[in-house]
Amino acid sequence: MASILVLNGPNLNLLGTREPGIYGAATLADVEALCQATARSHGHTVTCLQSNHEGALIDALHEAGRAHRAGELIGVVFNAGGYTHTSVALHDAIKGTGVPVVEVHISNVHAREPFRKHSCLSPAAAGIVVGFGVDGYRLAIEGLVARARNA
């Protein structure tokens, strides 16, 4: 049984209270429960990690790359929050590890402020899910499962 890493970046610990008109009422705990249930329904496990610190996210991606090479991990679902638009270091970590990453955004970032339209991560991502609310995490997990099955 391979695992999936669900990685959440800065301010996602505020889900449920941060701009509910944009991000909805679901909390990070709700997102994690959704991810656990989705992975379990496909015979996989999930590890969830949230950090407001870029270096911790990079370290998690490095470890995910090692686990992927060992056949223990099928991929990463990654909502990098604001780092999406600024972090070359996260882009390089994704590229450098070779782990399949699905970039997730709860809101439709393309319908928001101009700075949110650019992603440093998208060119390195295996796929992108945007604008489906927290259900995007479920879609991303299902995408990773299908990708692993077809590999």
Reported as a pLDDT band with limits 50, 70 and 90, residue 150 is very high
* Of the candidate ranges 38-47, 102-111, 131-140, the one whose mean pLDDT is the lowest: 102-111
> Residues 35-44: what's their mean pLDDT?
98
Please tell me the pTM assigned to this model: 0.95
CA–CA separation, 145 vs 77, rounded Å?
11
Q: Hey, which residues does 79 pair with through a beta bridge?
A: 8
CA–CA separation, 99 vs 103, rounded Å?
12
User: Do 6 and 35 meet the contact criterion of CB atoms below 8 Å apart?
Assistant: yes
Among 23, 44, 68, 83, which one carries the catalytic annotation? 23
At 124-142, the pLDDT tens digits run 999 999 999 999 999 999 9
User: Do 99 and 65 meet the contact criterion of CB atoms below 8 Å apart?
Assistant: yes
Backbone angles phi, psi at 26, to 5 degrees: -65, 140
Establish whether 105 is a catalytic residue: yes
Reported as a pLDDT band with limits 50, 70 and 90, residue 1 is confident
- Per-residue pLDDT at 45: 97
CA–CA separation, 114 vs 118, rounded Å?
8
Q: Is the dihedral of CA 61, 67, 68, 73 positive or negative?
A: negative
Q: Is the dihedral of CA 10, 14, 19, 23 positive or negative?
A: positive
Among 44, 68, 91, 105, which one carries the catalytic annotation? 105
